Structure 1
Amino acid sequence: MTTFSLLPAPASRQMRTWLCVGTILATGLLSMQLSGTAYAAEDETASLEALEHQMAQIQEQQKALQKALMGMQKQIAAHRAALTHGGGSSATQSAVSGSSHHTLTTARNTTTGSGTGHKGWSPETGSEDVGIESAGTTATAMNTPHTTGRHVTGPDAQPVFSGQDDHPDVEAVIGHRAEDMISRIAENSVGPHARETAGGQAAGALGDHGVFHMGPVTLILGGFLDAAAVVENRHIASGTFNYWQAMPYPNESRYHTNNFEGSARYSRISLMARGNVDTHSTISGFFEMDFGAGAATTDAYESNSYAFRMRQAYLAYDNSDLNFHFLAGQAWSMLTPGRIGIIPRQESLPETVESSMLAGQTWARQLQFRFVKDFLQHRLWLGLSIENSATLYDTTGFTSSDGTVTLPNGKTATVSSNGTGLTNDAPFSNEIAPDVIGKVAWDPHWGHYEAVGILHFPHDRVASLGQGHNNTAIAGGGGGSMVLPVLPHKVEVRLAGLAGVGIGRYGSVLLPDATLKADGDVAPIPSIQATGGVIAHPTPRVDVYGFFGYQEAGRRYSNYGGGAYGYGNPNYSNLGCETELSTLGCTTNTRSVMEATVGAWYRFFKGHYGTVEAGAQLAYSRRDAWKGQGGGPDTSMSQIFLDFRYLPFQ
């Protein structure tokens, strides 16, 4: 019988060559593991390091093999499509389908090594927990090439190459996480967050534990149990969540006393539900909660009963045919720096133990409607986000109560109202429009780069008896970030910054967005914030980091009839700032806050039961005030953070 090949001769030779290489690699992996096991009897620690190094090298070779196999799949798909449109025979199409099936099955077996679907260390993500679907699920997809079904596509899976939409021929290897797929395609040498649960990152479950299938929907558990404490040389009753504007000056007694506080309140749980709408689109929902809220019944002396709170809750739709992505719900603001494209759960956040992360860090978690399109094989990303607005006002110098401000001309300005009904009794600012945020992200072969801009519209109403008018200001700013993989998956440098007017609340220090002029008009306050850091992963079990952050607010003030108003007014009195319990006055509008910190995480247990890790961090912060009468005081604080964390699903 004569056998016909639809592939060009070089492609056929290339396929045979790579299949041979795959077989050799699989055999080599088995022999290396056996030799490593024998060596472990002599020196267990040294053999583990040798195995990890060998596995890393083999995985790099497997990566090249997978790329070649995907190229072959594309060639097969192209030939099949040409034959289909050109009236090729069914026998010929079956031959192509068989070739595709054989190629991808080989890729699966080469990747997993044993076909068991167990996870291993991946040089692409720097994670020991990257996994694929179980062998049973994948094998079923491979062995039923002509059965109509729904493909896992979009950012949650490898691309599907099929000649006919209603009769898919090839099912790709399925990754558990969308960000795993994007990192393999983009190849920016950054990849997903290598330690995604360090600090504020918890991105969901990895590997084959914490993943449940309920019909067409997959449920993925994530989160951790956290026990953290801080020792500091100033008393700030905020625990491991720094509120830098509460950092005391010498006129307060808490400036002169040390403080210890510990809690498990930042333990976290997350749940993702994901299903396939059709061949090219995926829908997912994500919940993330912790106990960070302080309810009215919280008792710090006995029960320590902190309230369950929503961190994130959103739905996401991803379409791999249109390269379109939509998100609706509460998530990290699109202003937050990222690591790969414009993808949720891949924010570039510092790995610090402190829950407030870092002074100068740009972030918010709020309602948004996000629209993203990617181009050039997932390298260029454009995003537009409509997000909830909330103006943070400073009313120093004015008499204010419950959101109303008495102006020196006798009129009243209303900037906020206290919540009612199911909303807590706290100020909610008057807003006339949402914040509008735009972002462009670029993922070349080396590094991740972003540029971002925001428009904000602070709004108030000024009234006297029987008449009044509204005031709206246009505020906003711009900035950017980058992640530089100096040594890919070993050492990286992160830089980020944002500058503008009326956007201070988007920094961790929570400097004000705006103040009021003497006539009640809105006066947006200029601000700038920046962070930089170096993160190293010397071994798969250890992370070491160092960060520096800075945030500053400018002056916006006015004087009327001998009175001083606004933010940073030089006529304010600071005469009593240096004397404990002084009554001479200490206005202390914050000019700037900086923080320098170093720390490390060590994972001393890691396996199918999850990960147990410990972290330690040393931080130094400094707060400077705008100068007034008596000068401009400053204060500082030193802190030691300690943390033990159990991540059962990672």
Structure 2
Amino acid sequence: MLLSAGPALAEDDASELRALKARLKQLEQKMETQARKEEALAARQNAIQNAQMTAKAPVPFDPCASGKLCYKGVTFTFGGWVDLTGIYRSRNLASDSGSVYNFIPFPQSKNYNTGESRFTARQTRFSVLAEANATENIHVAGYGELDFEGAAQTANSVATNSFNPRLRQASIEIDRSDLGLHVLAGQSWSLNTPSKAGIDPRGADTPGVIDFELVPGFLGARQPGVRVWQDIGPEFRLAVSAENPQTSFFGGNNPLVGTPAVGPQGVLNPNLLFNLTGPGGSFFNSLNNVSLNHVPDFTVKGAWDPRLGPYKLHVEAWALYRDFYDRFNFANHDVNTVSFGGHLSAEIVPKLLEVQASASYGALGRFTATPFPDATVRQDGSIQPLPITAFLVGSVWHTTPSLDLYAYAGLEKTKATFSNVGTVPFGYGNPLYNNLGCNIENSPAATCNGNTSEVRQYTAGFYDTIFKGSYGTIKAGAQYSYTQRFAFQGVGGAPKTDDHIVMTQIRYYPF
């Protein structure tokens, strides 16, 4: 019995050992599976963290990328284009590539019934961006840009068309990547000019039209100043600037700086001073006036670029402080104003449909496309700012990789701001101003004051890429715009006028 029991016990032990080994192998397989799951989860978490870090981190500066020129540690990027623009206007403005909407003539003017046609190459533009890393965390950039829209007294369209170059931008920018801090000094787009992303001093979200005056409702200027902005997280930026001030006063019937008369026949002359003509050697053109200003323009702006998957969205809001200044009858007068506005730029359909919209309100005449005056003067020499309301909406449809269609609508309007001394009218939009001759050709100029109350415009066009390669890009486009100018009610009614404008353009982008 003992002998027969021995092999049985040995066989049971072997079976139990095999069972234990099988269970151990199952446990090992489960542990390996769990380890693989944990590794995959960790890898996925690391990938998400790396993607987030990459999204938050700025794009590294390539010191010598393809297509750029490098010299002594500085990288140069060239830009610009060669341009030819064709222009037709149904009302003759005697203007080049920019339409001065506030001077569309009423029927009183002989040029109301004469068309205007010309070619111009003056929108040709050149730019250069110089960049370098001063330290690991300090990036320095210098930018310069010019075109040929300047017109000295020797410039003409008769024989040589010798129009002089004009400074558009010249600035230096210093960026601290470790602090998210940026400083700019020089001439650039004003801070209240809309950007397409973040705080961009060198670019602007301008309507993509051919007319150099863009579209009513778009506010912008280029002027010297200092700007500081801070990155607050990956999506929000806050900026403040101090910029060169100028004031466009309404003088008589002339809304541009340059006519010292206020009210009919210049009632306040010669005791009123609100601008000066530069003397010889002042480095200002002797035919241009400089307004009296003693406080810079101050602007604060916030920009938000939220992350919405494949969709791009940019929202910004700003406030502008200005001070207007004059002297009358041995006393100085000044007034402070605050204006505000906002802008939105978005991709409705990624890489296919873009929209933009802007709205603003305040004493913003010098920034408008019309242009409107900033202020007028009361009979005692005190200053009355002119409030401007401006709206713009537009869209660009990228129908194919080479063809873009665009459409914009905008308006700029102001309120009547006036006062009287007895029967003598002062101010802007005064109902006592004489408009009797505005609709009668060649009537005396004094019978058509016609202070502009509102300008509206509707614009549509296309831009097509004809050739594109290592040699650069050639594009061509055409647009049509319909502009209406309305005047305030005066003696004889409220005159209005309009202009049909057709423009064509061909550009070569060599860079």
Q: Which amino acid aligns with 1:413?
A: L
**Match of 2:25?**
none
2:317 is the counterpart of 1:451:
yes
**Other structure's SS at 1:296 match:** coil
Q: CA distance change for structure 1 residues 565 and 638 in 2, over 3 Å: closer, same or farther?
A: same
Deviation at 1:380, TM superposition (A): 0.7
Contact between 1:404 and 1:412, CA under 8 Å: does it hold in 2? no
Q: CA distance change for structure 1 residues 527 and 433 in 2, over 3 Å: closer, same or farther?
A: same
**Match of 2:231?**
374
Q: Distance in 1 between matches of 2:465 and 2:368?
A: 30
**Match of 1:423?**
284
RCO higher in 1 or 2 (8 Å CA, sep ≥ 6)? 2
Instruction: Identify which of 623, 642, 645 aligns with 2:504.
Output: 642
Q: Which amino acid aligns with 2:493?
A: G
**Match of 2:449?**
587
Q: Distance in 1 between matches of 2:70 and 2:434?
A: 64
Q: Distance in 1 between matches of 2:238 and 2:469?
A: 39
2:247 is the counterpart of 1:391:
yes
**Match of 2:158?**
301
Deviation at 1:346, TM superposition (A): 3.6
Instruction: Identify which of 221, 232, 235 aligns with 2:92.
Output: 235
**Other structure's SS at 2:165 match:** strand
Larger Rg computed on CA atoms: 2
Q: Distance in 2 between matches of 1:402 and 1:363?
A: 21
> Which structure 1 residue ranges, 4+ long, deviate > 2 Å from structure 2?
8-18, 67-70, 72-75, 173-176, 400-411
2:392 is the counterpart of 1:413:
no
Cα deviations across residues 339-398 of structure 1 (Å, max 9, x unaligned)?
A: 111122342111101111111211000012101001122x01101011111000002279
2:419 is the counterpart of 1:558:
yes
The structure richer in strand per residue is 2
**Match of 1:433?**
295
**Other structure's SS at 2:102 match:** helix
Q: Which amino acid aligns with 1:548?
A: A
Q: Distance in 2 between matches of 1:432 and 1:10?
A: 70
Contact between 1:315 and 1:327, CA under 8 Å: does it hold in 2? yes
2:88 is the counterpart of 1:226:
no
Q: Which amino acid aligns with 2:170?
A: A
Cα deviations across residues 205-226 of structure 1 (Å, max 9, x unaligned)?
A: xx833x1000210011000000
**Match of 1:256?**
113
Q: Which amino acid aligns with 1:208?
A: S
Cα deviations across residues 512-559 of structure 1 (Å, max 9, x unaligned)?
A: 000100111111111111110011112221111100111012211121
Deviation at 1:498, TM superposition (A): 0.9
**Match of 2:66?**
208
Instruction: Identify which of 186, 189, 197 aligns with 1:332.
Output: 189
Contact between 2:482 and 2:501, CA under 8 Å: does it hold in 1? yes
**Match of 1:204?**
none
Q: Distance in 2 between matches of 1:216 and 1:263?
A: 39
2:436 is the counterpart of 1:575:
yes
Contact between 1:228 and 1:641, CA under 8 Å: does it hold in 2? yes
Contact between 1:556 and 1:568, CA under 8 Å: does it hold in 2? yes
**Match of 1:597?**
459
Deviation at 1:73, TM superposition (A): 10
**Match of 1:245?**
102
Q: CA distance change for structure 1 residues 405 and 588 in 2, over 3 Å: closer, same or farther?
A: closer
Q: What is the aligned-residue RMSD (CA, Å)?
A: 2.7
- What does residue range 470-619 of structure 1 map to in structure 2 within 5 Å? 470-500=332-362, 502-583=363-444, 585-619=447-481
Deviation at 1:482, TM superposition (A): 0.5
In structure 1, runs of 5+ residues without a counterpart are: 1-7, 19-66, 76-123, 125-152, 159-172, 177-206
Q: Distance in 2 between matches of 1:479 and 1:293?
A: 30
**Other structure's SS at 1:240 match:** coil
Deviation at 1:403, TM superposition (A): 6.3
**Match of 1:269?**
126
Normalising by structure 1, report the TM-score: 0.68
More displaced stretch, 579-588 vs 330-339: 579-588
Q: Which amino acid aligns with 1:462?
A: F
Q: Which amino acid aligns with 1:71?
A: N
Q: Distance in 2 between matches of 1:319 and 1:391?
A: 35
Cα deviations across residues 225-258 of structure 1 (Å, max 9, x unaligned)?
A: 0000111211111122110111011111111111
Cα deviations across residues 298-331 of structure 1 (Å, max 9, x unaligned)?
A: 1211101101000111011111110011111110
Q: Which amino acid aligns with 2:142?
A: G
Contact between 2:319 and 2:339, CA under 8 Å: does it hold in 1? yes
The structure richer in helix per residue is 1
Q: Distance in 2 between matches of 1:402 and 1:338?
A: 32
Q: Which amino acid aligns with 2:453?
A: R
Deviation at 1:174, TM superposition (A): 3.7
Q: CA distance change for structure 1 residues 540 and 557 in 2, over 3 Å: closer, same or farther?
A: same
Q: Distance in 1 between matches of 2:258 and 2:216?
A: 29
Q: Distance in 2 between matches of 1:606 and 1:15?
A: 45
Q: CA distance change for structure 1 residues 372 and 404 in 2, over 3 Å: closer, same or farther?
A: same
Cα deviations across residues 35-68 of structure 1 (Å, max 9, x unaligned)?
A: xxxxxxxxxxxxxxxxxxxxxxxxxxxxxxxx94
**Match of 1:321?**
178
Contact between 1:476 and 1:503, CA under 8 Å: does it hold in 2? no
Normalising by structure 2, report the TM-score: 0.86
**Match of 1:198?**
none
Q: CA distance change for structure 1 residues 515 and 11 in 2, over 3 Å: closer, same or farther?
A: farther
Q: Distance in 2 between matches of 1:351 and 1:642?
A: 13
Q: Distance in 1 between matches of 2:418 and 2:157?
A: 40
2:460 is the counterpart of 1:460:
no
